[in-house]
Chain A
């Protein structure tokens, strides 16, 4: 079931096109990633989804229609950095923001206390928000995003300022959320987290979507035509291999000739009686590398085409 739909959306500020022809859908139980360098149009897209900005063109469907006041109770939004009343006590701040999402006061209080307990902030409930460290504030902020149990959660850089322990804590909350069949749209720079967490993603560059798919699909699209092999025996002079060079981890990288598929090489290797293969994988770049390459103007399809030629 699609909970969030963005169709051919465009938005320009003054004469600069911030977002251009952007489309994607997020379904129930899906964690969808928005990636891209700063200023690529991710936050503008999020603001259009949230009806803070009006798109110039295109259509946005939230929970089956336009975002109405009633639907706002079913949306959770974590803005990039800050978003809390600094002068309020942690508990008061969480309760107020939850009340504005339609949660009854006493229930909001109960949920807020339970959440704070869960993320090791039980003792901070009575402190002012400004007295908390950045990481603690981020956890409180995340709490306000989920306290009203929204169907769609939109989180902008949810892990900023968090150490590994707290990152893990927030990650578990997000997974539990996905488990419950809700939709999550997450924008972040932290590629390894996207790789590890997201079901699907789109990558923005200069206001346009330059890549979309599952992390695996994308990595494969950017794969150079090479495989990494570990094992014993002679790995030289394999048919279809242009060059073999040892890598740092003790294996060997085989660069294939154009038109040769990794499967052909594997079959050839297995057919050699003296060679024992313990590991064989297609070398794919990390999303980090892809991100940098894409931000530099490269497109996955073009590269794949070059590899195939």
Chain B
């Protein structure tokens, strides 16, 4: 058995047994499941209302029948979680009659339209505890119908622009507002998976130097073999994390779909997941090798974490420009960030969800990241050999240069 395989197996098992890994890996999907379950629970427990009453002091609704039944109106989004729930709305002549109906539970909510409604738009509601959303939407719909009756019946009057559909110059449809958080979520998950395994790598190197296990390792296998084993073993840890999350997502959607009809049709964005996996290998290698170089240079954990901070800032940079990436997904900034190896992974993931990426950009970025990763792996091997015995002293920049020249 090759020694790098021994190292890889050891690092993998050692990392997946850590509490931090278990918490991050299983805690995250669990959190999503809990969130989904929360949404489902909210949906199920939201109050349904079927009878409402109102007192019209403004005379606005005098032409309506004494009782109307509304099932939402022609405007979208009416009724929230219960778009089709019919609600009967009854007119009462005065507050006393309305309150009586409320008291004997004929109606759930009593709305009072004051005489100055036209000027203020204020409405008073009486309810035993609170006013459910559904009651308010349905009553609003009733008012809107009454107001519209005085005008030419054109729904566009109410909502002149329903959605702006952005199209790129080559006429690709681009979809913005509806999915703002999802790309960010992918970006963050990807970042966590890449970065946590890379920082395990750095930590294990610094620990081995601190414990002087490094000397024993150095007399057992080559620095290159050690690095290869660590990078592959911990890379498998990151992949395990991603796969667990994707699986967790599929399961969570399946479970939630049973409770919330709206979620039943939602499927995971497989092209994005495929991109994520394709990006993971080279970008993990890039970050792992960069942090390994740091790990080989420094002697104390704390110092390593400070330097690692630079790389974590670089990796998270695209999320700072999130808004500009969304509004101008093919702008110069977006393209620049997509082609810089450290920012490319997250930028591409964010853009993938907001625009149709030009065909050349993904392969180009993958090649750039791979080349950068290869360069960093080479450097990491050099630094490991050079910095192996620096217990008390960080490798300075001048020495870094010397190591590069192969001294």
> What is A's interface to B at a CB cutoff of 8 Å?
47, 50-53, 69, 72-73, 75, 77, 79, 81-88, 96-97, 99-102, 104, 144
Collect the chain B residues with CB atoms within 8 Å of residue A51's CB: 218-219
Main secondary structure on A side of the interface with B: loop
Q: List, in ascending order, chain B residues with CB within 8 A of A77's CB.
A: 215-216, 219
Q: Mark B373-393, 1 if CB is under 8 A from A, else 0.
A: 000000000000000110000
Q: Which of A72, A81, A87 contacts B219 (CB 8 A)?
A: A72
B220 touches A52 (CB 8 A): no
Residue of A nearest to B13 (CB): A92
**Ranked 4 nearest A-B pairs via Cβ:** A100-B220, A79-B215, A77-B219, A82-B212
Q: Write the chain A residue with the least CB distance to B388.
A: A52
Chosen A-B contacts, 12 in total, with CB atoms closer than 8 Å, are: A50-B218, A51-B218, A51-B219, A52-B389, A72-B219, A75-B219, A79-B215, A82-B212, A84-B213, A85-B208, A97-B220, A99-B1
Contact flags B210-239 to A (C-beta < 8 A → 1, else 0): 011101111111100100000000000000
Q: B114 CB to closest chain A CB, in angstroms?
A: 71
Q: Find out whether the CB atom of B216 lies under 8 angstroms from the CB atom of A144.
A: yes
Q: How far is the CA of A104 from the CA of B7 in the complex (A)?
A: 14
Footprint of A on B, CB under 8 Å?
1, 3, 6-7, 10, 14, 207-208, 211-213, 215-222, 225, 388-389
Partner of B211 from the list A52, A69, A73, A85 (CB cut-off 8 Å) is: A85
B389 CB contacts on chain A under 8 angstroms: 47, 52-53
A105 to B218, CA, bound (A): 20
**Chain A residue with Cβ nearest B215:** A79
A50→B385 CA distance, assembly (Å): 13
Contacts of A50 in B (CB 8 A): 215, 218-219
A87: chain B residues within 8 A (beta carbon): 207
Look across to chain B and name the residue whose beta carbon is closest to the beta carbon of A53. Answer: B389
Closest chain B residue to A69, Cβ basis: B222
Bound-state Cα–Cα, A96 to B221, Å = 13
For the complex formed, measure the closest distance between the CB of B382 and the CB atoms of chain A, giving whole angstroms: 14
In the complex, which residues of chain A have a beta carbon less than 8 angstroms from the beta carbon of B220? 72-73, 97, 100-101
Which B residues are CB-close (under 8 A) to A104? 1
Q: Is the CB of A83 within 8 A of B3?
A: no
Determine whether the beta carbon of B211 is less than 8 Å from that of A100.
no
User: With A and B bound together, what is the CA distance between A50 and B3 in angstroms?
Assistant: 18
- In the complex, the chain A residue whose C-beta lies closest to that of B5 is A99
Contact B215 A100 (CB under 8 A): no
In this complex, the member of B1, B213, B217, B388 whose beta carbon has the largest number of chain A beta carbons within 10 angstroms is B213
Known contacts A50-B218, A86-B211, A88-B14; 4 further A-B pairs (Cβ under 8 A): A50-B215, A51-B218, A52-B388, A81-B212
B207 CB to closest chain A CB (Å) equals 8
Establish whether residues B221 and A83, one from each chain, have CB atoms under 8 Å apart when the complex forms. Answer: no
Do A69 and B221 have beta carbons less than 8 Å apart? yes
A82 and chain B: residue at smallest CB distance: B212
A78, B211: Cα distance in complex, Å: 13
Cβ–Cβ < 8 Å partners of A84 in chain B: 211, 213
Query: Which residues of the other chain, A, contact B215 by a CB distance below 8 angstroms?
Result: 47, 50, 52, 77, 79, 83
Residues of chain B within 8 A (CB-CB) of A88 are 14
Partner of B212 from A72, A75, A83, A99 at Cβ < 8 Å: A83
Residues of A within 8 A of B218 (CB): 50-52
C-alpha spacing A102/B98, complex, angstroms: 89
Q: Is the CB of A100 within 8 A of B212?
A: no
A100 proximity list for chain B (CB < 8 A): 3, 6-7, 217, 220-221
Q: Which residue of B lies closest to A145 (CB)?
A: B216
Asked if B216 contacts A97 (CB within 8 A), the reply is yes
Q: Are B213 and A83 in contact (CB under 8 A)?
A: yes
**Which residue of chain B has the shortest Cβ distance to A141 in the bound complex?**
B216
Residue among B213, B221, B222, B388 making CB contact with A85, cutoff 8 Å: B213
Complex Cα spacing A97 to B388, Å? 18
Residues from chain B with Cβ under 8 Å of A73 in the complex: 220
Please tell me if the beta carbons of B219 and A52 are within 8 angstroms of each other in the complex. Answer: yes
> Closest Cβ of chain A: how far from B223's Cβ, in Å?
10
Please tell me which one of the listed residues A53, A83, A99, A102 contacts residue B216 in the complex, with CB atoms under 8 A apart: A83
Bound CA–CA A101/B207 (angstroms): 20
* Residue pair B219, A96 in contact (C-beta under 8 Å): no
A176 to B207, CA, bound (A): 34
CB-CB under 8 A from A69, the residues of chain B are 221-222, 225
Closest to A102 in B: B3
Minimum C-beta distance from B327 to chain A (A): 48
* Minimum C-beta distance from B352 to chain A (A): 39
A102 to B207 Cα, complex, angstroms: 23
Shortest CB–CB separation between residue B213 and chain A, in angstroms? 6
Question: Cα distance A205–B3 when bound, in Å?
Answer: 38
- Cα A82 to Cα B209 with chains together (Å): 11
Query: Closest residue to B224 on the A side, CB-wise?
Result: A69
Closest to B222 in A: A69
In the complex, how many angstroms separate the beta carbon of A53 from the nearest chain B beta carbon?
A: 7
Q: Are A72 and B211 in contact (CB under 8 A)?
A: no
Q: Known contacts A52-B219, A72-B219; decide if A96 and B388 are in contact (CB<8 Å).
A: no
Docked pose: A69 CA to B2 CA in angstroms: 11
Chain B residues contacting A83 (CB-CB under 8 Å) are 211-213, 215-216
Chain B residue, CB-CB nearest to A129:
B211
Question: Given the complex, which residues of A lie within 8 Å of B216, measured CB to CB?
Answer: 77, 79, 83, 97, 144
| CA distance in complex: A51, B221 (Å) | 11
B211→A96 contact, CB < 8 A: no
